[in-house]
Structure 1
Amino acid sequence: MTWRILVPAGLLVAGLLAAGLLALVATEQGARHLAEIRERLEPARTGPAHRPAPRVAAEEGRAVVRLSAPERARIGVTSEARPAAAHREELQAYGSVLDLARVTDLTNAYASAKAALQTAQARAEVSRSALQRARSLGPYATTVQREAAEGTFQTDQAALAAAESQVRTLSATAQQEWGPVIGRAIVERAPAITRLIERTDFLVQVTLPPGEGLKGPPAAAFAEVPPQSARVALAYVSPATRTDPRIQGLSFFYTVPGDSGFLPGMSMLAFLAADRSVTGLSVPEEAVVHWQGAAWIYRAVGPDTFARHRLRADPPISADSYVVEDLPGGTEIVLSGAQALLSEEMKGQNPASGAVDDD
């Protein structure tokens, strides 16, 4: 006798589904799929009262971003309370690396003129001695001998005067074109000129914006090396003898190492130490984000809460950092990860949030 076990259809389907789910869980792909399903169902299961608070909200007319310490660590956000202090302001100027072909030509021309002068001096000395001997012979020297000696001496004296004039002209030209410091170095063929000719150093002309001035020579100066904007120190030489016609401001000569990444003809941003100081919070350039044509930083406005703060159009600069004058000392500033905070803010905002863009 054959026994048949009758199983309800519903139980049979449920069993098959359970077996399928067990087989799915047994694979890594299946486990991930179930985790995704569980994550999707979680908000519906827990209800609105149990959902986490949004990361971006509008508070006091501004957008704020809330991130816990683990979340900040995950996206690389670090912050620090910055004290208010006095900082020596730096003036932004514009520099260009000069072509030194003219310096090389003047140096070589002066060296040749100096050698010609020495030759003329030697010849004039010989002809002077010859004329003196002819005159000392008295009646024993013929008229032709005396006249020849006198003619040679006069010719050599004229050549000596021309050589001296050429040396003086080149010396004056060097000082007129490059100033007394570089001009004297050309005349003396100083080691500084040799370094320029051999391209160990490059000569840079730095020009301040119109209306900016300095009480004394700006000994401390830096240039930004493209494209990474690293700073390199400039060595002060002298005031420039001419301005940059494109800028029409005070100009100065500096030297920059030949291995700094600059080449003749290149332009640069330069920063010169000013005579005045500004008081505020020092904020490095990497802490600044740019959005909608303005520069911003993020500052803490509460526990784990950050808001954007707009910088003025031309903030003071000191030691390669911006000086923020409109925040109190001790304000906690986001030093790294500001771009990640901006991304979080943009993702969390919507037209109905009522948040504004600055505080």
Structure 2
Amino acid sequence: MRARPDEKPLPSRRLPVSESRPRRVLRLLATLTVLGAVAGAVAWILPEHLRAAAPAGKPPPPRVSRAAVEEGRSIVKLGPAERRQIGVETVTLRSTRHREERQAYGAVLDLARVTDLTNSYASARAQLMTAQARLEVSRSAYQRAKALGPYATAVQVESAEGTFRTDDASLAAAESQLRTLAATAQQEWGPVLGRAIVERSALVTGLIERARFLVQVTLPPGESVGQPPVTAYAELPPQSARVPLDYVSPATRTDQRIQGLSYFYTVAGDSGFLPGMSSLVFVPSAKSVSGVAVPEDAIVHWQGGAWFYRSVGPDAFARHPLDTGGPMSDDSFVVAGLPDETEIVLRGAQALLSEEMKSQLRVSGDDD
């Protein structure tokens, strides 16, 4: 049956087919993706305390605090395994008597003057020997001229006598010059170094050849050590390594900057010191003090003070203040008032301080 020309065809009706299902799945996945992105953005925008309150898959691990405040002091607790992990080493020290060290100031001297005096004395001694030899010759010539009697003219006798008298005066001048140089050496450097200059001994030879250097050690004003010790110790900057000094004699002058008692010591030429350098020097005294000798390696510095850690119980350590102006002995600080046997942290004190500070930061954060 044909349709008439004025009639419009009816629209065809399409039934759902299997090809339209993948499109619905894709639209569903796209919708889920957008929702997930929105949820993530909202979670990122939320404040941290709201995000922490939101349920999560796994609860965060509890924070482990190694420090706590007990009896008004901060205690750091570490077991043996934890101490090994962060490098903490302890040592048990006994309270006993120690020979106190006085802090002094050392200056390595320029020895050009010692060299000049040594050379001048050697030259004056050679001149003296020359004058002695000339005098012997001229004396013999004068005696022969007088012995000739009438066979020698008056001019010959007078000439021989004049030479003899001149050589005698030259000898006296050479002897005077030698005595003056010896007195100058002793006046400038003391009897020990002065005699060494005159005799050109091994002490002065080593100084001239720079095998050793001369160090002037000056105590603070008003302090003394009694009999000067045979050995003192200088700190070599910047490592602060201790270098032994050998005693020579009391110094003939003080350091004008310090105005204290001074002594001469020598230091090895290969120790790292050079003329013109200054250093702290520790001079043992006759006085002894009681306490625990805490070595410098155990000291930590914080807030302008010095501290060390000591054991206050099983696996527990507390920070103890240290007076750096107190007595010292053998490169250690002598601390009084500690138990007869005290376990201190020899290495790793800085790690304990870090643990203590982290605990304080956590407490202040929780209070906020």
Shorter-normalised TM-score: what interval?
0.7 to 0.9
- Cα deviation digits, residues 170-219 of structure 1 (max 9, x gap): 00000000000000010011111111101011111111111111221221
Equivalences for residues 344-359 of structure 1 within 5 A: 344-350=355-361
* 1:149 aligned residue: 160
* Equivalent residue for 1:159, pick from 154, 166, 170: 170
CA change 1:191–1:45 in 2 (3 A) is: closer
* Equivalent residue for 1:86, pick from 87, 97, 102: 97
* 2:204 aligned residue: 193
Q: What's the secondary structure of 2:223's corresponding residue? A: coil
* Equivalent residue for 1:182, pick from 193, 211, 220: 193
The answer to which of 232-241 and 324-333 deviates more is 324-333
Tell me how far apart the structure 2 counterparts of residues 103 and 42 of structure 1 sit (CA, whole Å): 84
Q: Which runs of 4+ in 1 moved over 2 A?
A: 40-46, 51-54, 350-353
* 1:119 aligned residue: 130
CA contact (8 A) 2:218 2:263 kept: yes
CA change 1:167–1:266 in 2 (3 A) is: same
Identity among equivalent pairs (%): 66
- Cα deviation digits, residues 61-116 of structure 1 (max 9, x gap): 11121222222111111112211111111111110110000000000000000000
Q: Give the superposition deviation at 1:56.
A: 2.1
CA contact (8 A) 2:107 2:279 kept: yes
The answer to which of 126-135 and 318-327 deviates more is 318-327
* 2:36 aligned residue: none
CA contact (8 A) 2:212 2:268 kept: yes
CA change 1:296–1:41 in 2 (3 A) is: farther
* 2:241 aligned residue: 230
Name the TM-score, length of structure 1 as normaliser.
0.84
The answer to which of 77-86 and 168-177 deviates more is 77-86
Gaps of 5+ in 1: 18-39, 354-359
**One-letter code aligned to 2:68:** A
* 2:314 aligned residue: 303
Tell me how far apart the structure 2 counterparts of residues 150 and 139 of structure 1 sit (CA, whole Å): 16
Greater gyration radius: 2
CA contact (8 A) 2:324 2:333 kept: no
* 1:257 aligned residue: 268
Q: What's the secondary structure of 1:349's corresponding residue? A: helix
Q: What's the secondary structure of 2:214's corresponding residue? A: strand
What is the aligned length?
A: 323
Tell me how far apart the structure 2 counterparts of residues 313 and 96 of structure 1 sit (CA, whole Å): 23
* 1:212 aligned residue: 223
Tell me how far apart the structure 2 counterparts of residues 251 and 322 of structure 1 sit (CA, whole Å): 24
Tell me how far apart the structure 2 counterparts of residues 45 and 73 of structure 1 sit (CA, whole Å): 27
Tell me how far apart the structure 1 counterparts of residues 56 and 344 of structure 2 sit (CA, whole Å): 39
Tell me how far apart the structure 2 counterparts of residues 346 and 81 of structure 1 sit (CA, whole Å): 25
Q: Give the superposition deviation at 1:301.
A: 1.6
User: Is 1:343 the counterpart of 2:354 in the alignment?
Assistant: yes
